[in-house]
Amino acid sequence: MKIPTTQVAAWLEKPHPEATLLIRNDIEVPQPRAGEILVNLLYTGFCHSDIHYIHGDLPSTTDIPGHEGVGRVVKGSCILILNFSEPMPYITDVEFVTLPAEFATVIPEGLEIEATAPLLCAGVTMFGALRKLEKYCQRNDWVVILGAGGGLGHL
């Protein structure tokens, strides 16, 4: 695959309640550093957290939202389909993104990747559930969170 120097991205100028995303075609394709891979994103989910980032309700470290990407490694040591759903700044509303190779998760062949991307993040959902445990648990109690990866892993 020939990797372009620029890419299309959904870009946010400034988070605020009436903000909209602009489609830009001049975003530089990042180059992976040591230990990183370059992924050509094929699908991305867009969760409710992204709406909160866009509206400025939650802090964001980037002007490109998204964090539920599925794609193929195009530069690096792996060639399998993978997902990454670590917390920002690993953005997914772009065509190419770099990330640390250890943050990537292999998605088994045979899964429909267009249906997989939205399933990769439940971080804010789980955070909300954990906050509701205050009346059932005490500080430093253990809580088991079942999941198949995705945003649950960073809690």
pTM of the complete model? 0.69
2-23: pLDDT as tens digits: 999 999 999 999 999 999 999 9
**What pLDDT, on a 0 to 100 scale, did the predictor assign at position 91?**
53
38-69: pLDDT as tens digits: 999 888 877 777 888 899 998 887 888 877 78
Band (pLDDT 50/70/90 cuts) for residue 81 is very low
DSSP of the chain, one letter per residue? -PPPSEEEEEE-SS--TT---EEEEEEEPP---TTEEEEEEEEE---HHHHHHHHTSS--S-SS----EEEEEEESS--SEEEE--STT---SBSEEEEEGGG-EEPPTTS-HHHHGGGG--HHHHHHHHHGGGGT--TT-------SSGGGGG-
113-127: pLDDT as tens digits: 777 776 666 655 666
Band (pLDDT 50/70/90 cuts) for residue 82 is very low
Residue 137 domain-assigned (yes or no): no
Residue 126 domain-assigned (yes or no): no
Residue 96 domain-assigned (yes or no): yes
Residue 152 domain-assigned (yes or no): no
| β-strand partners of 98 | 38
Residue 147 domain-assigned (yes or no): no
Q: Are 145 and 155 in contact (CB under 8 A)?
A: yes
Domain count, the chain: 1
Instruction: Look up the CATH number of the domain holding residue 69.
Output: 3.90.180.10
Does position 154 have pLDDT exceeding 70, yes or no? no
Residue 54 domain-assigned (yes or no): yes
Mean per-residue pLDDT, 104-118: 78
Which residues, at least 6 apart from 6, have a Cβ–Cβ distance to it below 8 Å?
25, 26, 27, 28, 29
Residue ranges making up the domain that contains 111: 6-120
User: How crowded is residue 16: how many other Cβ atoms within 10 Å of its Cβ?
Assistant: 11
Residue 144 domain-assigned (yes or no): no
Mean per-residue pLDDT, 118-137: 72
Peptide bond into 89 cis (omega under 30): yes
Residue 131 domain-assigned (yes or no): no
**What pLDDT, on a 0 to 100 scale, did the predictor assign at position 124?**
56
